[in-house]
Amino acid sequence: MRRQVIPALRLSAVMLGALACALILKPQATAAAAPEPHGDAKRGAYIFAAGDCENCHTDKKAKGAFLAGGPPMNTDFGVFFAPNITSDKKNGLGDWSYEEFHRAMREGKGKGGELLYPVFPYPSFTGMTDQDIADLWAYLKTVPAVTQPSKPQKAKAPYGIRPLLTGWRVLYFHQGPLKPAPGLTAEQQRGRYLSEAVVHCQECHSPRNGLGAIEADKAYAGNPKGPDNQDAPNITPTGIGKLTLADLQEMLKTGMTPDGDYLGSGMGEVIEGTSKMTQADRDAIIAYIRTIPAKPSTPKPPKK
Ligand code: HEC
Ligand code: HEC
């Protein structure tokens, strides 16, 4: 009897020790994840439209299914495809936890912790509040599953090696949430949050350095050679100083410019989102954009 009891006791001591270790280690292992706030799918749909997730993640030209994977994005670093983010378990986010989704938005990491390419504008989305991320997640869970594998990224050498992004992140990635800036009114503060963390205006309207990072001091001064040859103009007062409040309101609501033209290219897609925002939120964006100091426009690259 004794000979059997003692090993059993020893075994349970070892198990208890292991359990204690697990309990001690567990909070550390999950420390990065914020507790899941109650997500509201309706509010999530609003942030989803404002963040323009749809146009990158849906190949509309090829009549692809909603959020089942985007069209090729041609950049200096290769051709990238936004993956399937439907609720499909195998190809989409169906198998993801809230913590994993939160980490993708806040830290730019994939399900396995792999570093994501900043063509996914997580350097902007990192600024979102936990509540907005939880609302987005509640909305994405309502998106019907589509069984369509995501296309592999075609990064140019050496960018195919994701761990190389570590260095880029040390230099250029500032993890959020976005902190309020001093000296702004409540409306401008809301506008800054929407512009920088959600609609990510600066991602298109700023020049980038040789490593594809936004040149912070020249933010909003325009980028004549964005992905897919988008030419996003200077939206500091140098570029838009002559536009009235009413002009800007119309542009963000319907895309119509004072000449009666319509804004196109990437901005046309952005306006699909801003057109669905409340007038108060569009006004907040305008109020913030108008606080940005005038900067000289980014020169156009020489014609080849
Ligand atoms: C400018 C295009 C673009 C926009 C806008 C965009 N994404 Fe993405 N997204 C990408 C690309 C490209 C990737 C893949 C990055 C990679 O492979 O490293 C990606 C990856 C992701 C991932 C990780 C998926 C995975 O399988 O690893 C999630 C989650 C995601 N996006 C959600 C969103 C949400 C939510 C929004 C809107 C708030 C959004 N995206 C807006 C381009 C975009
Ligand atoms: C996906 C890239 C992209 C994003 C994000 C984006 N823009 Fe634009 N924007 C453009 C492009 C490209 C144009 C030029 C469109 C054209 O010429 O038809 C443009 C044009 C504009 C114009 C017209 C400027 C003029 O002189 O006529 C304004 C104003 C503007 N954007 C403001 C914003 C604001 C504010 C945000 C964020 C709330 C934003 N944009 C986000 C790409 C973008």
Q: What tens digit of pLDDT does each residue of 220-243 get?
A: 999 999 888 899 999 999 999 999
State residue 304's pLDDT score: 61
Is residue 1 a part of any domain in this protein? Answer: no
One-letter identity of residue 267? M
**28 domain-assigned:** yes
Pocket perturbation via mutation, ligand 1, pick of 47, 57, 137, 151 by most ligand atoms within 8 A of CB: 57
Residues 96-120 have pLDDT tens digits of 999 999 999 999 999 999 999 999 9
Q: Among 263, 276, 285, 292, say which to mutate for ligand 2: greatest number of ligand atoms within 8 Å of CB.
A: 263
User: Among all chains, which residue has been given the structure tokens 């009666």?
Assistant: 260
Query: Of all atoms in ligand 1, which is nearest to the CA of residue 101?
Result: 29
Residue 195 and residue 111 share a domain? no
The number of the ligand nearest the C-alpha atom of 72 reads: 1
Residue pair 143/86 in contact by the 8 Å Cβ criterion: yes
- Provide the CB-side half-sphere exposure for 236 (13 A, CA): 17
Query: Which of 119, 147, 172 corresponds to the end of one domain?
Result: 172
At residue 4, the pLDDT reads 43
Q: Is the CB of 289 under 6 A from ligand 2?
A: yes
Residues 17 and 165 in one domain: yes
What is the per-residue burial (b if ≥16 Cβ within 10 Å, else e) of 202-238? bbbbbbbeeebebeeebbbbbbbebbeeeebbbbbbb
11, pLDDT greater than 80: no
Count: domains in the chain: 2
Q: Are 147 and 233 members of one domain?
A: no
Q: Ligand 2 centre and the CA of 13: distance in Å?
A: 65
* Beta pairing partners, 75: 78
Give the ligand with the smallest distance to the CA of 202. 2
Q: What is the pLDDT of residues 162-214, one digit of tens each?
A: 999 999 999 999 999 999 999 999 999 999 999 999 999 999 999 999 999 99
The reply to whether 191 and 285 lie within a common domain is yes
For ligand 2, atom 8: residue with the closest CA = 267
End-to-end Cα distance, the chain:
90
Instruction: Please identify, by atom number, the ligand 1 atom nearest to the C-alpha of residue 110.
Output: 27
Query: With contact defined as beta carbons under 8 Å apart, do 116 and 56 qualify?
Result: no
Q: Domain for residue 3, yes or no?
A: no
pTM of the predicted model as reported, rounded to 2 decimal places: 0.90
pLDDT band at 123; cut points 50, 70, 90? very high
Residues 144 and 51 occupy one common structural domain: yes
Residue 6 in any domain: the answer is no
Nearest CA to ligand 2 atom 39: 201
Is 262 a domain residue?
yes
Q: Specify whether 260 is located in the same domain as 229.
A: yes
Q: 4 C-alpha vs ligand 2 centroid, how far in Å?
A: 76
- Mutate which of 52, 53, 124, 205 for ligand 2? The one with the most ligand atoms within 8 Å of its CB, which is 205
Task: Single out the residue of 97, 286, 262, 261 nearest to residue 185, CA to CA.
Answer: 286
pLDDT at 29: 38
Q: How far is the CA of 179 from the centre of ligand 1 (A)?
A: 23
Is 70 a domain residue? Answer: yes
Structural domain of residue 190, as residue ranges?
Answer: 186-289
Residue 19 forms part of a structural domain: yes
Ligand 2 contact via 266 beta carbon (within 6 Å): yes
Sign of the CA dihedral with 284 first, then 276, 201, and 111 last: positive
133 and 272 together in one domain? no
Going from the C-alpha of 263 to that of each of 141, 189, 235, the distances in angstroms are 32, 26, 14
Q: With contact defined as beta carbons under 8 Å apart, do 260 and 164 qualify?
A: no
Number of helices followed by number of strands (H, E) in the chain: 13, 3
Q: What is the pLDDT at residue 148?
A: 97
Mean pLDDT on 14-31: 37
Pairing mode, strands 154-155 and 73-75? unpaired
Q: How far is the CA of 57 from the centre of ligand 1 (A)?
A: 7
Do 234 and 104 lie in one domain? The reply is no
